[in-house]
């Protein structure tokens, strides 16, 4: 059976579009820490920022669901997803955005990207998945990289601890989510999770307000634009383009291309925030990304062998 040139051309074009979509998604996610720093400088605090982020993201995603005719999953599944958002995503986002007040944006972004390794370790411990040679190599690379990155970056012990906590919580979130989200539309999943997170942060903000500690919002138009950027670009656009690219490329290639995310954060932090990237941090970040790439490449190769 022969494949026509037009079919091959369409396939290549589809792959190219997929690469562009994942690159756009990774860039939007990577810019989130930079937007957050601008919002903080304009007077926002973590509670005001995250309440606005998740509320706007939930509203925008609900409109996307309605426009595409996507239905919510059964209520039992909705409650499980809401728990993921209200506990897991709230915890991860709080640690990540609070860490940005105590450490360089580039350092926090690189520490967060240890999560694929944490997922592998937790899966080996709790799910009894075999720890492969690829995983051990990635563990060594990421461990060395984390040591160099922490040593070469500027951040307080609290900022470093919060960055690592964000990665650890996110890894648990992913492992739980792999079971909870099975068979559920990805956009519906994200909408429920963002809505739950918005309700939690909104409730916390109201409680703090009643106690005389109201959430802080930006005092400038630029600060509000930064918050809108986090909600609409670094959350909604990033999620939608990731899933669109995922459909065209598959999980393995999408995961590898997503390693562009911390690179974007590091470059933007240097250009826009004036953060100094030392040699040790650059080498450490490179080792972390090398470990993640090695892990995802080997996982993708094994998945292809099993499918074939």
pLDDT tier for residue 7 given thresholds of 50, 70 and 90: low
Q: Give the pLDDT confidence score for residue 38 in this predicted structure.
A: 97
Higher pLDDT, 124 or 8: 124
Contact 188, 243 (CB under 8 A): no
Encode pLDDT of 47-87 as tens digits: 999 999 999 999 999 999 999 999 999 999 999 999 999 99
Compute the distance between CA of residue 23 and CA of residue 261 in angstroms, rounded to an integer: 8
pLDDT tier for residue 202 given thresholds of 50, 70 and 90: very high
Range 169-191 average pLDDT:
89
> What single string gives the DSSP state of each residue in 145-204?
HHHHHHHHS-B-HHHHHHHHHHHHHHHHHHHHHHHHTTTS-HHHHHHHHHHHHHHHHHHH
Q: How many CB atoms lie within 10 A of CB 17?
A: 14
pLDDT tier for residue 4 given thresholds of 50, 70 and 90: low
Q: Give the pLDDT confidence score for residue 93 in this predicted structure.
A: 97
Q: Give the pLDDT confidence score for residue 114 in this predicted structure.
A: 84
Lowest model confidence (mean pLDDT) among 21-25, 48-52, 149-153, 176-180: 149-153
Q: Give the pLDDT confidence score for residue 302 in this predicted structure.
A: 46
Higher pLDDT, 115 or 90: 90
Compute the distance between CA of residue 299 and CA of residue 26 in angstroms, rounded to an integer: 20
Encode pLDDT of 240-254 as tens digits: 999 888 888 876 677
Q: Give the pLDDT confidence score for residue 301 in this predicted structure.
A: 46
Whether pLDDT at 168 is above 90: yes
Higher pLDDT, 44 or 125: 44
Q: How many CB atoms lie within 10 A of CB 55?
A: 18
Lowest model confidence (mean pLDDT) among 17-31, 94-108, 149-163: 149-163
Encode pLDDT of 272-305 as tens digits: 999 887 888 888 888 888 888 777 665 554 443 3
How many Cα atoms are found within 13 Å in the side-chain-facing hemisphere of 124? 13
Compute the distance between CA of residue 91 and CA of residue 170 in angstroms, rounded to an integer: 9
- C-alpha dist (Å) from residue 60 to 89, 127, 199, 235: 18, 36, 15, 10
pLDDT tier for residue 205 given thresholds of 50, 70 and 90: very high
Return the sign of the alpha-carbon dihedral for residues 206, 210, 211, 216.
positive
Quote the pTM value. Answer: 0.87
Q: Give the pLDDT confidence score for residue 221 in this predicted structure.
A: 97
Q: Give the pLDDT confidence score for residue 143 in this predicted structure.
A: 80
For the chain, the average pLDDT equals 87
pLDDT tier for residue 223 given thresholds of 50, 70 and 90: very high
> Cα angle vertex 268, ends 290, 274, to 5°?
115
Higher pLDDT, 36 or 139: 36
Q: Give the pLDDT confidence score for residue 1 in this predicted structure.
A: 46
Range 2-31 average pLDDT:
79
Compute the distance between CA of residue 46 and CA of residue 108 in angstroms, rounded to an integer: 15
Q: Give the pLDDT confidence score for residue 227 in this predicted structure.
A: 97
């Amino acid at each position: 059976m022969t494949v026509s040139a037009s079919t091959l051309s369409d396939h290549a074009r589809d792959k190219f579009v997929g690469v562009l979509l994942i690159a756009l998604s990774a860039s939007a996610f990577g810019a989130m820490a930079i937007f957050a720093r601008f919002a903080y400088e304009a007077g926002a605090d973590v509670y005001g920022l995250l309440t606005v982020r998740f509320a706007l993201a939930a509203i925008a995603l609900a409109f996307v669901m309605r426009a595409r005719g996507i239905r919510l999953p059964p209520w039992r599944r909705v409650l499980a997803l809401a728990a993921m958002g209200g506990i897991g995503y709230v915890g991860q986002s709080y640690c990540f955005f609070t860490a940005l007040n105590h450490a360089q944006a580039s350092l926090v972004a690189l520490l967060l990207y240890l999560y694929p390794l944490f997922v592998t370790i937790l899966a080996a411990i709790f799910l009894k998945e075999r720890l492969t040679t690829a995983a051990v190599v990635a563990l060594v690379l990421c461990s060395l990289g984390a040591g160099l990155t922490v040593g070469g970056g500027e951040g307080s012990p609290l900022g470093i601890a919060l960055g690592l906590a964000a990665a650890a919580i996110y890894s648990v979130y992913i492992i739980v989510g792999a079971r909870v989200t099975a068979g559920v539309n990805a956009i519906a999943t994200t909408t429920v999770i963002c809505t739950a997170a918005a309700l939690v942060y909104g409730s916390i903000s109201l409680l703090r307000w009643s106690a005389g500690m109201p959430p802080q919002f930006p005092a400038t138009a630029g600060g509000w634009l930064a918050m809108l950027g986090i909600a609409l670009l670094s959350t909604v656009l990033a999620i939608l383009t990731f899933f669109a690219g995922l459909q065209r490329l598959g999980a393995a290639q999408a995961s590898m291309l997503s390693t562009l995310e911390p690179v974007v954060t590091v470059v933007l932090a240097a250009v826009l925030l004036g953060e100094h990237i030392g040699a040790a941090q650059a080498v450490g970040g490179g080792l972390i990304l090398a470990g993640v790439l090695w892990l995802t490449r080997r996982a993708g190769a094994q998945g292809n062998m099993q499918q074939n």
